[in-house]
Structure 1
Amino acid sequence: MTVATANDEGTAFDRRLIVPMVLGSVLNPINSSMIAVALVPIGSALGALPSETAWLVSALYLATATGQPVVGKLVDRYGPRNLYLAGSALVGIAGVLGLLAPNLGVLIVSRVLLGLGTCAGYPAAMYLIRSESRRTGKDSPGGVLTALAVSAQTIIVIGPTFGGLLIGLGGWRSIFAVNIPLAVACVVFGLLRLPRFTGEAPTTRLDFLGIGLFAGTLTALMLYLMDPALNDLWLLAVMALCAAGFAWRELRVTDPFLDLRVFGGNGPLIATYVRALLAQTASYAILYGFTQWLEAGRGLSASHAGLVLLPMSLFAIVISTVTGRQKAYRPKLIVGGVGQLVVSVLMLTLNAGSPLWLPVLVTLICGLPQGLNNLANQNALYYQADPSRIGAASGLLRTFSYLGAMVSSAATGIYFKHGADTAGLHGLAIFLIVVAVLMLILVLADRSLSRVGSNSPS
């Protein structure tokens, strides 16, 4: 399958693709991060507990964790243009629904639509990068992958600050409304710049049964994680049955939704997926849990809480930009893991009377793992994945990232079950120490990281 671009005769990366690639890939991060400072205002306005507003986080990630590899598979089969345009349009619709939502239930529906709509941007971008590499006969510029990662990372870390400013200016509904102009921009640039698919349409049917079993596995797991209890263990049984059925199906169908035989034989790629899960568990626990404590436990407004996170944003941007072109992925991940461990330990020292410089210091140090971990994992995947399955592989990377976000959301709901107080923050910190230690063990044990990127992809 090939994609024709406007400069087919050239040998340089078509830089007209960069704007729609970046715009599409940041739609999910901006909606993931802005909601962090909106959970408390939304809960106050709609009379919802933290365990209930946590569904605004989980609903988006459940939809996206399921949808990303599905859309990635479709991108591999049919090219990125139409899926990118359809997803962007759905984001705009979700923005309108969130702006007008009368209750929490409708807001959750809006977040589900946002999750589905933002599925196309990242797999489409990774597909285009790999496609341009094939067209030009050489590896895509390191700066392109770095721009993609840094833009998403930048949005993640400045999202709470930006969201806090929006809430201060127009209330919490403004973080939904901002999706409307973003979606319009994506549609316009997508129509003008994305190439049309010129390959042959596949003759095999899409594996709908496999997709359904995959979705059932994730849904049952998330429902249990939201409120773990002995009388809900049946959800884990459902998850196990769906997972077993999914594995049985994918190992036997001609054109599987996810070719488990390929992934099963690629240990380094699987390790990257697990690292992404652990990194995002820690990252989003900070964004959601720590931010809620700043507002409810430390008494800051949404705008001020966003400003406290600003040092993390600035430091992460600097770190990502400076290290983005370097292929020393293992040292990056070691430093990122150590940084996350330090942050988690410092969280244990916080209380309602802590001087403001202490939470600012926590967010500053947090910029280190924020700027290193996601970038290193994304770039490692680019070299580890099968080029013909780059859309599905990159979509699955996001799936594992969103699983981490789901775990962090569940942990936040558990520790903040009765409110975002200091005791809950300390419990969350101990949980994050365990996550950071597991991350470091996994990185130190993976010697293959030292060889990633030493050869250009074919």
Structure 2
Amino acid sequence: MTDARSAAAFDRRLLAPMVLGSILNPVNSSLIAVALVPIGMALGAPASQTAWLVSGLYLATAVGQPVTGRLVDLYGPRPLYLVGTALVGIGGVLGVVAPDIGTLTAARVVIGLGTCAGYPAAMALVRREADRTGRDSPESVLTALSVSTQTIAVVGPTLGGLLIGLGGWRTTFAVNVPLAVVALAVGWWAMPRALGRERSSDSVVSLVDPLGIGLFTAALVSLLLVLERPSWWPLAAVTVVAGAALVRWELRARHPFLDLRVLAGNGPLLLTFLRALLGATVSYAILYGYTQWLEQGRGLSASAAGLALLPIFLAGIGVAALTGRRREIRGKLLVGAAGQVVLAVLLLFLSSASPIWLLVVVALVAGVPQGLNNLAVQNAVYRQADPERVASSAGLMRTFFYLGAIVAGTTGGLAYSGGATTQGLHVLAFVMLGAAMVFLLVTVLDRSLVRLEA
């Protein structure tokens, strides 16, 4: 009887590699937030160049996550996880020794590519355990995954400020080395060696669909570069041509990288991807835009700015912990959307003389959608995606997430063209308000969310 119960239970040993692999991306996304100014001063790089430290990682992950996710679906999570975590360690070493901003940007790209495997692998493991046990994986597992990633994303600036205070900005790269070593060791020990789902006599090349991946990469990279640098608008022609070729090829491919027919017929999943984009636009505007304003507009040190963001972590974790075991998705999204609207309005009342208590209130309000939206969007993807492509769907969700991050970064760059002033923050707040209102409207009108709670 004990063995039968054990076989029907989620394998808790998988939680450690799932969490460790998933946090590698948010830790590198968030630590850099308070390091941009010190890096620019140390390497003599203007803001236009240090911005590529953010964009480089997002470009790599936006393209790499769905590609890696597809490989996870085909060949299993273990090999992709181990290779990815090794790349994170290599990128960390490269960042520690980087002599200039170009090498440092290359290190961020390597780190970004390395972090692509963690989250799709984790989602695939959750699905595989559900198949193995014959029952849905506990809500607490998905909650632990969401809470760990958002915890790191929010606490990252605080940790980054402390690391910079202790050993300078290079410590924000050095921290990847021990993290990668631990993740490798735990992954080697705990992750199953089983191959992926698909079994076929077709060649590896036909299964992977290299032409589809190449066209997807060309279309997405050109689009992201246009979003990141609007003056590069001629690249939009590459986006259009590569995108059209991608659609034509994927509709004919025997084993398409993107199964467009399935995606087109899954409207609820596409709306979830849209919510991922809109939610990320707001959350990353806070992570980068608000953080820069705290340092330059409000005059706080990097360490103090990190501490000022700490209530986001406390509120986000508290909200996620309280609601995580409840399967309800639509209610979480509605409250999260309303929280984003309130947050954007509060930013309009900030000035260079705003008291600390008001900054704390802003951070606490920001934590509510941070805790609810990430959890709800993740759980929606898990339940809406084709079980055979849950890893690649999770990767696509992350692509939309990083599209939102780049939109936030581009908006912040335009709003702060003359520095991270209060006026620039208010421009950013209006963009956040628009994204939040669309998020709310899409959620109110999406009745398919009710069926996920059955």
Name the TM-score, length of structure 1 as normaliser.
0.95
Distance 1:441 1:49 in 2: 39
Letter in 1 for 2:178: P
Letter in 2 for 1:364: L
Distance 1:100 1:130 in 2: 40
Give runs of aligned pairs for residues 255-274 of structure 1, distance below 5 A. 255-274=255-274
* The one of 216, 226, 229 aligned to 2:228: 226
Q: SS of the counterpart of 2:223? A: helix
Partner of 2:215: 213
Distance 2:46 2:403 in 1: 23
Of the structure 1 ranges 175-184 and 232-241, higher mean CA displacement relative to structure 2 is found in 232-241
Shift of 1:288: 0.4
Of the structure 1 ranges 403-412 and 267-276, higher mean CA displacement relative to structure 2 is found in 403-412
Distance 2:275 2:291 in 1: 23
Distance 2:195 2:104 in 1: 39
Distance 1:422 1:196 in 2: 53
Number of equivalenced pairs: 447
* The one of 21, 24, 29 aligned to 1:24: 21
Partner of 1:377: 377
Shift of 1:439: 0.7
Distance 2:425 2:74 in 1: 45
Matched, 1:140 2:137: yes
CA contact (8 A) 1:312 1:364 kept: yes
Shift of 1:47: 2.4
Partner of 2:100: 103
Distance 2:449 2:101 in 1: 44
Letter in 2 for 1:319: V
CA contact (8 A) 1:227 1:414 kept: no
Partner of 1:54: 51
Letter in 2 for 1:207: D
Letter in 1 for 2:139: G
Shift of 1:281: 0.9
Shift of 1:8: 11
Partner of 1:165: 162
Distance 2:40 2:240 in 1: 34
CA contact (8 A) 1:78 1:201 kept: no
Distance 1:273 1:174 in 2: 34
Residues 311-368 of structure 1: CA distance to partner in whole angstroms, max 9, x if unpaired? 1110100001111111221111111111111111111111212222222211111001
Give runs of aligned pairs for residues 395-414 of structure 1, distance below 5 A. 395-414=395-414
Q: 1:28 to 1:329 in 2, by over 3 A?
A: same
Partner of 2:115: 118
CA contact (8 A) 2:139 2:327 kept: no
Distance 1:198 1:236 in 2: 39
Q: SS of the counterpart of 1:102? A: coil
Letter in 1 for 2:160: G
Shift of 1:29: 0.8
Q: SS of the counterpart of 1:325? A: coil
Distance 1:330 1:40 in 2: 39
Q: 1:310 to 1:419 in 2, by over 3 A?
A: same
Matched, 1:336 2:333: no
Q: SS of the counterpart of 2:395? A: helix
Partner of 2:287: 287
Residues 422-445 of structure 1: CA distance to partner in whole angstroms, max 9, x if unpaired? 221111111111111111111111
Partner of 2:152: 155
Letter in 2 for 1:213: L
Distance 2:57 2:65 in 1: 12
Distance 1:81 1:122 in 2: 12
**Which structure 2 segments of 5+ residues have no match?**
none
Letter in 1 for 2:357: W
Shift of 1:52: 2.4
Name the TM-score, length of structure 2 as normaliser.
0.96
Partner of 1:423: 423
CA contact (8 A) 2:143 2:325 kept: yes
CA contact (8 A) 1:277 1:400 kept: yes
Distance 1:55 1:365 in 2: 30
Give runs of aligned pairs for residues 239-250 of structure 1, distance below 5 A. 239-250=239-250
Q: SS of the counterpart of 2:351? A: coil
Distance 1:258 1:7 in 2: 38
Shift of 1:48: 2.5
